A and B are shown apart, each in its own frame.
Chain A
Amino acid sequence: DGGITQSPKYLFRKEGQNVTLSCEQNLNHDAMYWYRQDPGQGLRLIYYSQIVNDFQKGDIAEGYSVSREKKESFPLTVTSAQKNPTAFYLCASSRGSGGGSAYGYTFGSGTRLTVV
């Protein structure tokens, strides 16, 4: 079955450590997105990519980095510069590069990151 796989489901980060969240999709979608969700709040866009080898900053990109070397993969690195990384991280994808959002997004199951 097609879908988006995020791993790990739970991740613990020590102070000053970089961690990478994995996102893989087999839907043949062009566009991929990373969102952060804090308790009781909506989704905030971190980074997005419309095509391979290209990505754009979202509303809260500081302290995060991404790469898009393959169509299927869009990993997110949470760097030590991100001062408050504890949150639920959601990866999403949509078909079509220019009109991707016309179809809505498909979400992965999420990664819950906690700073210890």
Chain B
Amino acid sequence: QKEVEQNSGPLSVPEGAIASLNCTYSDRVSQSFFWYRQYSGKSPELIMSIYSNGDKEDGRFTAQLNKASQYVSLLIRDSQPSDSATYLCAVNSVANKLVFGAGTILRVKS
């Protein structure tokens, strides 16, 4: 079992819709969770962090965490074509390293 799992996609949504990206993790002691956005050929960019169960909102982005289910998600409201990218879920692990999922490709169609 991979430590951090994501559906590779692509996830296609129409412009203006809500995009929902999901991630599960295996290490129950993980305390820090991150979402990165990576455009093609570019490096990852941190867009959200979450540490407590529940929702955390920042503009059009909402991160959701459920530690009991070992599940973290990212919602993007009013999706724009510029949101088209690969979204990486990252979870902290032993020795304070981040473990990354393989990423979900999001395509927003205008």
- A and B are interacting partners: yes
Chain A interface residues (CB < 8 Å from chain B): 31, 33, 35, 40-43, 45, 48, 50, 56, 58, 90, 98-110
Neighbouring A residues of B34 by C-beta, 8 Å: 104
Name which residue of chain B comes closest to A43, CB basis: B100
Instruction: Give min CB distance, B74 to chain A, whole Å.
Output: 14
Neighbouring B residues of A99 by C-beta, 8 Å: 96
Q: Which of B14-22, B39-47, B53-61, B77-85 contacts A (4 or more CB under 8 A)?
A: B39-47
Pairwise interchain contact B97-A41, C-beta atoms closer than 8 A: no
| Complex Cα gap A107–B42 (Å) | 10
| Complex Cα gap A100–B90 (Å) | 14
Pairwise interchain contact B102-A41, C-beta atoms closer than 8 A: yes
The CB with the most chain A CB atoms within 10 A, among B34, B42, B100, is that of B100
| Complex Cα gap A98–B44 (Å) | 23
Instruction: Give min CB distance, B31 to chain A, whole Å.
Output: 7
| Complex Cα gap A102–B32 (Å) | 6
3 A-B pairs with least C-beta separation? A42-B102, A101-B92, A107-B43
Question: CB < 8 Å: which of A40, A90, A98 contacts B43?
Answer: A90
Instruction: Give min CB distance, A115 to chain B, whole Å.
Output: 19
| Complex Cα gap A90–B92 (Å) | 18
Pairwise interchain contact B97-A101, C-beta atoms closer than 8 A: yes
Pairwise interchain contact B102-A104, C-beta atoms closer than 8 A: no
Pairwise interchain contact B49-A31, C-beta atoms closer than 8 A: no
Neighbouring B residues of A40 by C-beta, 8 Å: 8, 102
Question: CB < 8 Å: which of B8, B31, B46 contacts A105?
Answer: B46
Neighbouring B residues of A100 by C-beta, 8 Å: 96
Neighbouring A residues of B101 by C-beta, 8 Å: 42
Instruction: Give min CB distance, B65 to chain A, whole Å.
Output: 14
| Complex Cα gap A110–B41 (Å) | 9
A-B CB contact pairs (8 Å), 11 listed: A41-B102, A99-B96, A101-B97, A102-B51, A103-B49, A104-B34, A104-B49, A105-B90, A107-B44, A109-B42, A109-B43
